[in-house]
Amino acid sequence: MKRTIVGFVVSALVLGGLALWALKGRIAGNAQEIVMAGIVLIVVGFAVYLGVSRLRSHLRHEPGEDELSKSVMTKASSLAYYISIYLWLFVMYISDKTTLEAHSLVGAGIAGMAVVFVLCWLGVKMFGMKNE
């Protein structure tokens, strides 16, 4: 339960930060920033979904985590790590061919890793894991 509350608080803080960033006019509204904000929203949405799912389990007197949810997380993490190696290889490859600054490329790489993890998690959930 504690982890769920922490997850909700962190999600609210991230959303608050994003809203402040947009309201204070620091956001120029170019494509790069819009994509970045979209990625943040996807990752926060994923965290909120996990939190709501744990909360519902708690209300139904089920464990918040069990062997399936732990296995899905482990499998998704290992798959995301493996794919992220190629993602960074791609980032290194395009670093010479783009006008983006190094910090923007690193930010895009980190955001890409988060998106890769969410996609891997969805894939493992959708196709199951039989380990045969």
Partner 1 sequence: MNNRIKELRAKEDLSQLHLAQLVGVRRETIVFLEKGKYNPSLRLAHDIAKHFRLPIEEVFRFDDEAG
Closest separation in Å from C-beta 41 to partner 1: 25
Closest separation in Å from C-beta 68 to partner 1: 4
Tokens 């464990």 found at: 63
Name the residue nearer to partner 1 (CB basis): 103 or 127: 127
Name the residue nearer to partner 1 (CB basis): 61 or 103: 61
Name the residue nearer to partner 1 (CB basis): 12 or 68: 68
Residue 24 burial (C-beta neighbours within 10 Å; 0-12, 13-18, 19+):
exposed
Joined tokens for residue 58: 């708690």
Helix (H) / strand (E) containing 74 = helix 67-95
Name the residue nearer to partner 1 (CB basis): 7 or 107: 7
Tokens 């970045």 found at: 36
Closest separation in Å from C-beta 125 to partner 1: 9
Q: Which residues contribute to the site for partner 1 (CB under 8 A)?
A: 57, 60-63, 66-69, 71, 127-132
Closest separation in Å from C-beta 128 to partner 1: 3
Residue 32: alpha-carbon gap to chain centroid:
18
